[in-house]
Structure 1
Amino acid sequence: MEFSPIALTLIGLLLAAWTVAAAVMMVRASRRSRRYDAMRTSMKRMSKMLDEGPAIPMLVRADGKIEAPERLARWLGLDSMPQFLSEIAPGNGSGLSVTQLEELSALVRTTQKSAAPFRMVVTPPGSNRSLALRGVLADARISPGGAALVWVFDFSESEHELAGLREEASRAKGDFAALVGLIEAAPMPMWFRGAEGRLRLVNKAYVEAVGVESAENVVSNQVELIEPVDGLSPAQIATQAAQQGMATERIVPVTIRGERRSFRVSDLPLGSEGVAGYAIDIEDLEAQRREFRAFRKAQRAMLDQLSVGVAQFDASEKLVFANQPFLRQFDLSPDIVGESVTFDRFLSDARDKRRTPEVRDFPAWRREHVEWFAAQEALEEAWPLPGGTHLRIVAQPMPDGGLVMIAEDRTEQLALSATRDTLLRTRTATLDSLFEALAVFAPDGSLQLWNRSFAGTWGLPEEKLDSHPSADQLLELIAPNLARPARAKTIGEIIRAATLDRKEKGGRIELSDGRTLEAAGVPLPDGNGLLTVLDITDSQKAENALRERNAALEEADAVKARFLANMSYEFRTPLTSIGGFAELIKSGAAGPVSDQMAEYTDAILESVARLTDQVENVLDLSQSEAGLLPLSKERLELLPFVTEVVRGREEPIVSGGLSLDLRGNAGGVVEADKRQLGRVIGNLVDNAIAATPRGGKILVDVAKTREGARIVVSDNGPGMTKEELARALGGLRASSDGSVERRQGLGLPLSRQLVEAHGGTLTLQSEPGAGTTAIILLP
């Protein structure tokens, strides 16, 4: 081991001081030879001082003989000090190694010859002691003849301390290297500033962030990563942190690779050495915070739209959020959230506003509910409030020690539940009172609900239905009661159509006791199916009787129609003969005709014409009802055609003192049978003439419509009641004096049949005192 020059100098001075002191003592001892006792005492004292000193002198004479205290023998591991230097060898028990002894002997001889000092460090074999040897040429007064004085120092403790210091230094150096490597490999920019605020060291992340080639360029050009804040540069902020001796932290935007990102920058004072700094990229964290704030804002906005009240208390039991329904339910001000109201105070205020249940010991009740914050799972309570309000309270402890309180107003729900129960009881009573047998089947075919009539209708005991049998089991119970047991499948198909196919289906079932049941399946909105069963035995008998009667009536109607047709044809021959003979008599072929005879002849001809017309009406009506009326349609211009029909009634109009107004636009054309349509319009005009009193007015209006044509015949006569109107459509017409007379027999019914045969409609409208209007619509 080697010492620094300063340490060697100090050791030399110390040895010199001890040497000078010893020499002085020896000179004084020689001068006081006469005082031998005193000198011996001084020598002993000097020897004692040498023994206690940090160094032991060893005098090596020119012949190799040595002089040294026994203390040196102990240092060298010898039993006693030998007489010659060469005897300090391992062979004498310990001493120095051969190499060390040879080196020491050579150095001693050199000193003896040249007076050159030497230094040497030895470690005796088998010993932990470290010895430092410092040799000089001894003063002639000490030993004439060129002896060497060797001072031996024991610096074992210092050596151990130095070894420890070296180890610590090595370890510190390794730790420092690891720290430097860690800083260099850190993903975040890191730097070190001197006391004056200038950059001295930066890591690789800093270099990459500022986009410079190397750390040396960053330091030499003082390239800053952080932008100035409030007019202060990063160096000024770091200098302020060093002056205050406090770490500073701030969030600033930084542009890296063309992207603007948020960084948390920290400056850490390191005493007088300078300021360390680092920047952590928190852009993702800030983005998450923004998303979280947006999410929380949206969540709270959504909670405000709920009908359920929601409030949130933090870990310190303070109210941090309450939605609008919660504020309304507990009669709270919207500003209460900003007042940091505690949970126990909230309960107290709610009690003052009668928004908590009435309890005997409210403080104990409040303490019990404050313990909700320490609960491990959600708790639920029902709060019946004064005034009839019922709240359902759910307390949900949060992982952060807070609490979410949910309040649901169930007042209306409970009222609806009570109403529902009442309706269910009413429904059950209603179903049991129905004459029909009802049963509700689930989609799986099981019997869910039935009324009292159901079991009796099918002849089943009540206890068979209490087990809610399936449809197949029910059919097995019903089959023996059917006239044909195989017909039980029909009931199953009806149930299946209502429950699974969601279709309505029905059918008739005959029982073995002669009853007939009408069954129908109806799908219900809730997915179930309803089976209705009605005993139609009596109605079936009545229906059969009505069918028989209807068949008889149809046969009678057919006989009547054939009779009328035959009679119409049979009437024509005598009527034609009567008319022909009457015309011959009127023409004088049978002799002179008197005025009275001519009058009788005219009456005969008029009656023949009227009877012929009625016969034709009967024939046409019978053919029309049978759908056999022949029509010969042609293209008709409506206005000239109607004008011609009206002009044919000019004489009765004038003789009756009436006025007729014919209106219409030319161009209206229809496809119609000219003879039959003329009969219809003529009948309507004749009825208007007969019903209108003297001085009255008749209106005939012809118009073209989008669908075809419209003919209106109206009068301002006395009008008809609903009963009179019904009779008129049956062939009767109200007279001007209010009595009902038959007008042209079957005129109106035939007119309606003829219009419908043309694909049109005939509508008759009338009110007492307002006249009558007939409207014909033709395609």
Structure 2
Amino acid sequence: MPKRKLLGARDRVGAPALFRGVRGGTSGRLPVNVPSCLRTMLVGLGLVLPAEAIAAPAMARPPAQWISSGDMVSLALVLGAISAAMISALWLMRERARLETRNGELEYALGEADARNARYQSLLVDKDRRIAVWEGVGTPVELIGALPNEIGAPVDDAGFLAFGRWLEPRSAARIEQAIDRLRADAERFDLVVETARGQIVEAQGRVSGGRAFVRFVALANLRAEIAELRIENDRLAGALERTEGLLDALDTPVWMRDETHRLVWVNHAYAEAVEARRPTDVLAHGTELLDTRARQRIGAETMPERPFAETLSTVVHGDRVFYEVVEAASPSGTAGMAANATALENAREELARTLRSHAETLDHLATPVALFDQEQRLSFYNQAFQRLWGLETGFLDAHPGNGEFLERLRAEGKLPEPPSWREWKERILAVYRSLEPHSHLWHLPDGQTLHVFANAHPQGGATFVFDDLTEKVDLEARYNTLVRVQGETIDHLAEGVAVFGTDGRLKLSNPAFRALWGIADDQAEPGTHIRDVAGACRASDPEGTSWRSFSGIITSFDDERRTSEGRTELTSGIVLDYALVPLPNAQWMATFVNMSDSVRVERALTDMNEALRKADALKNDFVQHVSYELRSPLTNIIGFTDLLRSETSGALNDRQSDYVDHIATSSSVLLTIVNDILDLATVDAGIMQLDLAEVDLSAILDEVAEQMGDRLKEAHAELAVAKGRGLGRIVADPQRLKQILFKLLSNAASYAPEGSLIRLDCAREGQAAIFTVSDSGPGIPADVLKTVFKRFETVDHDGRPRGAGLGLSIVDSFVSLHGGDVAIESGPGEGTTVVCRIPSAETARAQASG
């Protein structure tokens, strides 16, 4: 490097100005007595002219004079200035040499620094890291290094610092917040962020020497995996925190359990449900929401591949609450939640009750109804629907499709046969694709006419209502026929008919009316007032009392109109029964029936009825007389028969003994019949009295069973007596009570199969005794069951003798006398059960009523 002169041009121009002041305006010449060395130096400095330049003029001047004192002062000043300039020049030369030495040292140090900087730069600049350096607030950032291309980071500075372009949004937000805190508060950080391409980058923020710098390092292999795991852990931790926060904000109880089924986390809704102050209290005490049995069931049924989901009930705050419990299992434990389903369960129950009510309502409707679901399959039908089509229950309960149902009806010939079956069927099934209801009229082969109303459901499916119009059509036809023949019918009635309007004017009348009252046709024209009609009828009713009464009723303004009936007799001898009937629209109909013949017949019937009453009394006297007259000879026959059987008059051979036994048996039967007839006649006459007394029910049952022993042996049957608890006593006629039981047991023995069992049960019901006699006989047909209590009604079975048919009549009469009732239950092949209820009498004796 060339050395610079220590004295510059500025220094060189200062000396001439100084010497000009010294020369005092001369032309640059010095006195001649100036030393040559000084002259030479001044000439070199350019302060004076050289000698040759001033030699010629000097020849012409006069010789020099000696230097004055002023010149000496000037010369001294010049010499002082020259000395100072020479000293300064020497100092400057020495400083320049020192500066040149220093510059060389600095240039060497700069070279060394550049070398070190290059070495450091080579260490920092690689493809795995990039550093962002901020000198201070408001200074631009300096970026050093680069990241791999697969990271996806922009190369330019502005694009790199726009982290949202190449980092995942959550990571971009985190790194921006961390850099702000680093530059503002010198808060260092170490973050692992994720790029939009899924790569992992480590970001380290530091502050050193007043500078903030962030180093971005692309991670690889194990560090990348660790960083990924850290990111995943942070993500999962954040997700878990958000999930727990969300679950904790729910009003649905949520819980988590470890592998030992111990609660490890619950939300506030769970704590509130178990009446705990905080979730930590629940975990500390292990308070459970569900009972032990429910938890055991959940633990047994919960699988990793199949979560538990079912509605369970528990008690919350003293109320029964239904929860939709869902619990899922994992290797680390289980998690569950319980959604309050009480309202849903109540709604389901209400819906089920409503559906059952609707089903029951529809099932009791006389109109056939069928419901098809969204798959066009039969989901409901009522009994009227099944009766209408006559289909078996198995087919209907199999939920056939609508098309299958129509095909079945067609195959059985129950549907009309249209010209094109396919088009007709498609038209019927089009209701499922329509928003409007469909209406069809089916004329069935059996003569029925159905109005089919089909309505599609908003959720799918359709409802079919089959309205039987057969009767309606028939009624309409009949109505039209009646309308057509109404005039003919009324005109040909034997009864007189007249209809009056609200204004009292005649609307219509028939010929019978005019004939009965003897008026002409023009006097009963429609529109004739009732006063005029009454005047026309004056010939048959001179006093007009009947028509005044009719007019008062028809033209009255009473709010309550009632039917008025009566009888009137005309001057012609005709007896009329009249009826004034209110009609709709405030009209009245007057009907007149000629009762002349009926009156005569009535009188004849009255006379005949009197004669029959007397005949019935004569019959009762005859039956009573004959019964008493028959009893005496029968008593003698029975007495003599017993005498013959006792062998007092001599021994009898076997044939004679058989004859005597037959006589005794027949006599007893005849005596029983006579006694029964006498009892019935006494009851009919109303003169039978009950001999009331306290009756021991248990004792009377034993007595009846003992006395019925022989009769049951003859019938080859057995008797079982069942006594209820606390029978005690009742007030009744003991003889008639035993007679009731004898008749019931005899009747059962007559019909019971050989070897069968007849039961006699007695129980106490308040103040009444209940006697039940049942057998396993052939039973009584339904048509005969209505007449079993009538006299002389018997039922033959397998040819066995049955008696006179008075037993149940006597039972009914005697039970009625006691104020009780008797009922019989029977059926073919089901045996017969007779139940008698006999209340305890309140008085010691009661008079029987007829």
What is the TM-score normalised by the length of structure 2? 0.37
